[in-house]
């Protein structure tokens, strides 16, 4: 079956023609390349971290639960693109669907809840990984390096334009009848319609977001945790992806 990276429609992304097995037509896939293979982590919470210079900076602690095992290696010859699939969070077999369980057993991996592909350009980098390989955080990330962290933001529910888009409110006194209302949304007789993309009230949060170039403060192999400077998407217990930072002109 064709299991390429997620298709991004309407976004600026690199495209490539993926060759399918004999008897199938080729398909154009749009996907973003990563700067390198990353890891999964679980957001444990935030803390104040004191640097060697005595500065107190906000930091996020990411716990590394059981997992982060290579489940599949994809190449141009076998799948039409280069990628490394990583699994995370070992769970009982009854919590994994049988097709996915068979896929993991083929790679001699335990049943895991989360699977993610890291697509790369360089085939030589992909070939250094093997199915069943345990990824080591201390070998992949060093203190002082920059990383990109992706996750799902906290859902805020249905919110108005003031909280969602930082609109200004009207006066609360002097007879004003427009306090937190949105106001006019349409145009005049021409074009007599609401333009697409107008900022209005609606669902806020609960979307995938990536925070770029966060600094690694500490990699604690004994406690199986990584300390990151700043904030990351999601709340405590959320699953995030830790990837090498994409720097234009250097690795992308």
On whether the pTM is more than 0.85, the answer is no
The DSSP output letter for 135 is P
pLDDT 10s digit of each residue in the chain, 252 long?
434 433 333 333 444 555 555 555 665 555 678 888 999 999 999 999 999 899 999 999 999 999 899 999 999 888 889 999 999 999 999 999 999 999 999 999 999 999 999 998 888 889 899 999 999 999 999 999 999 999 999 999 999 999 999 999 889 999 888 899 888 888 888 888 889 999 999 999 999 999 999 999 999 999 999 999 999 999 999 999 999 998 887 776
Beta strand spans in the chain (E):
15-18, 27-30, 39-50, 56-63, 67-74, 83-90, 112-119, 146-152, 157-159, 202-204, 208-220, 225-229, 239-244
Longest dimension (CA), the chain: 75
d(CA 57, CA 43): 17
- Token couple for 13: 């992304």
Q: Do 208 and 8 touch, CB atoms closer than 8 A?
A: no
Q: Do 67 and 40 touch, CB atoms closer than 8 A?
A: yes
Question: In this predicted structure, what is the pLDDT of residue 31?
Answer: 65
Phi-psi region of 192 (alpha: psi -120 to 50; beta: other; left: phi over 0): left
The DSSP output letter for 173 is S
Question: In this predicted structure, what is the pLDDT of residue 5?
Answer: 39
Which among 211, 195, 199, 196 is positioned nearest to 159, based on CA atoms? Answer: 199
- Token couple for 83: 């990628």
d(CA 10, CA 70): 31
Count the helices and strands in the chain (H runs, E runs).
5, 13
| Beta strands 27-30; 39-50: pairing state | unpaired
Question: In this predicted structure, what is the pLDDT of residue 83?
Answer: 92
């Amino acid at each position: 079956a064709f299991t390429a990276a997620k298709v991004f429609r309407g976004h600026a992304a690199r495209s490539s023609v993926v060759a399918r097995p004999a008897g199938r037509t080729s398909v154009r896939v749009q996907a973003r390349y990563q700067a390198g293979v990353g890891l999964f982590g679980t957001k444990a919470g935030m803390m104040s971290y004191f640097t060697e210079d005595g500065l107190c900076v906000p930091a996020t602690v990411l716990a590394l639960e059981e997992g982060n095992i290579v489940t599949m290696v994809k190449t141009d010859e076998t799948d039409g693109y280069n990628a490394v699939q990583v699994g995370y969070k070992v769970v009982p077999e009854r919590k994994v669907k049988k097709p996915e369980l068979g896929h993991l057993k083929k790679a001699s991996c335990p049943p895991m809840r989360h699977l993610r592909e890291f697509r790369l350009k360089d085939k030589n980098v992909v070939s250094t990984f093997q199915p069943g390989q345990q990824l080591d955080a201390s070998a992949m990330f060093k203190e002082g390096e920059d990383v990109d962290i992706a996750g799902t933001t906290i859902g805020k529910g249905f919110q108005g334009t003031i909280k969602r888009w930082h609109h200004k409110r009207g006066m609360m006194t002097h007879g004003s009848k427009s306090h937190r209302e949105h106001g006019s949304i349409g145009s005049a007789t021409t074009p007599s319609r609401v333009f697409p993309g107008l900022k209005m009230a609606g669902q806020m949060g609960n979307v995938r977001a990536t925070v770029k170039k966060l600094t690694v403060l500490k990699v604690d192999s004994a406690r199986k945790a990584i300390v990151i400077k700043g904030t990351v998407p999601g709340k405590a217990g959320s699953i995030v992806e830790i990837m090498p930072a994409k720097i234009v002109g250097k690795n992308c």
